[in-house]
Chains A and B, each alone.
Chain A
Amino acid sequence: AQSVTQPDIHITVSEGASLELRCNYSYGATPYLFWYVQSPGQGLQLLLKYFSGDTLVQGIKGFEAEFKRSQSSFNLRKPSVHWSDAAEYFCAVGPRDSSYKLIFGSGTRLLVRP
């Protein structure tokens, strides 16, 4: 079955500390991979995506993610967290037919300590 697992429901980090959010997927073939951020009551904003090529992907707001095929993982990282990064983060996978029928994980809520 196709699925996305985000094992951490909540993560709390101090402002200025580094961050890594984990994402593992189960899919028939290598999918397109995405990270989205959602602030309370808002829609989803795309942080970054991986389609092909370099497995280290740079995104907006200083985020990056690394695709590891052997581990079926696509972890999100940021070297120094800002208080404004507090939000919910979703990992998603989609088919390579560009139909954008995404499968999302259940999300990781990031809390930032001042």
Chain B
Amino acid sequence: DTGVSQDPRHKITKRGQNVTFRCDPISEHNRLYWYRQTLGQGPEFLTYFQNEAQLEKSRLLSDRFSAERPKGSFSTLEIQRTEQGDSAMYLCASSLELQGSGTFGSGTRLTVV
């Protein structure tokens, strides 16, 4: 078990470009979560999946953001037409249903220039 893996670790993109991040959860975990952390703040919940079903989306997740977990394993988070305000650390976590806590990955740091 290698924990939760996120790729890439860092991404620099120009404003207006699309970016996609990947998260590989712990293999037996059926729940997967995305959080966003801006500088000097705690993480904020964005969305979560149980298996391949997206169960909840935060109001923070504008229509430029889309997340998928097509086979109930890895997940992708895509941001279209990036804006400078999207610059943040994007954290993924996974857990087992009814576990009540989970494991975080090391995050993808996005910088929009």
**Which residue of chain B is the closest to A9 with respect to CB atoms?**
B40
Q: How far is the CA of A46 from the CA of B104 in the complex (A)?
A: 9
Given contacts A41-B109, A42-B106, A43-B106, contact A104 B42 (CB under 8 A): yes
Query: Is the C-beta of A25 less than 8 angstroms from some C-beta in chain B?
Result: no
Instruction: Identify which of B33, B35, B101 contacts A34 (C-beta below 8 A).
Output: B101
Instruction: Identify which of B35, B41, B101, B103 contacts A49 (C-beta below 8 A).
Output: B101
Q: How far is the CA of A7 from the CA of B4 in the complex (A)?
A: 31
Q: Which of B14-22, B43-51, B76-84 has 4 or more CB atoms under 8 Å from chain A?
A: B43-51
Binary B-proximity of A31-61 (CB < 8 A = 1, otherwise 0): 0101010000111111001010000000000
Are B107 and A94 in contact, with the CB atoms below 8 A?
A: no
Given contacts A32-B100, A43-B104, A44-B91, contact A106 B48 (CB under 8 A): no
> Interface centre among A4, A41, A96, by most B CB within 10 Å?
A41
Are B33 and A100 in contact, with the CB atoms below 8 A?
A: yes
Pairs A–B under 8 Å by Cβ, sample size 23: A4-B42, A36-B104, A42-B106, A43-B104, A43-B105, A44-B43, A44-B91, A44-B93, A46-B101, A94-B100, A98-B95, A98-B97, A98-B99, A99-B48, A99-B56, A100-B33, A100-B48, A100-B93, A100-B95, A100-B100, A101-B33, A103-B45, A104-B42
